[in-house]
Amino acid sequence: MIAVGTTVVRALETVVEPHGVVLPGSGWTGPVVMPDRPVTSVDGLITGWREPHASRLSMIEAVTGHSLLEVSYAAAQQEGYLWYEFGDGQLILP
């Protein structure tokens, strides 16, 4: 499953069972996805780039792992990719 946006990742992580099955659900989302709490609901993510210390960048690291995030972030900076909602996006397939 490929999530489109970090908010979708959080919503899916709210309704995923421990063995990775995503169930229907409703309500508020609680999980904060960080590198020490990796995702179990998605296989990839489409999202925009974030500034170096943004919390959403930590969520991206939870999907990619530290090494892939580091390499891809450096490449995006070198190539002049843009940040925020109207910037360039990336498809992450760890």
Dump pLDDT digits (tens) for 50-86.
887 888 888 889 988 999 999 988 998 899 888 876 6
Q: What is the pLDDT of residue 85?
A: 67
Neighbours of 9 (CB within 10 A): 24
Question: Distance between CA 94 and CA 86 in Å, rounded?
Answer: 24
Give me the domains of the chain, ranges plus CATH numbers. Answer: 2-92 (3.40.1780.10)
Q: What is the pLDDT of residue 41?
A: 93
Scored b (16 or more CB within 10 A) or e, 59-68 reads: bbbbbbeeee
pTM to 2 decimals?
0.83
Indicate the average pLDDT of the chain.
89
Q: Which of 47, 55, 54, 56 is nearest to 3 (CA)?
A: 47
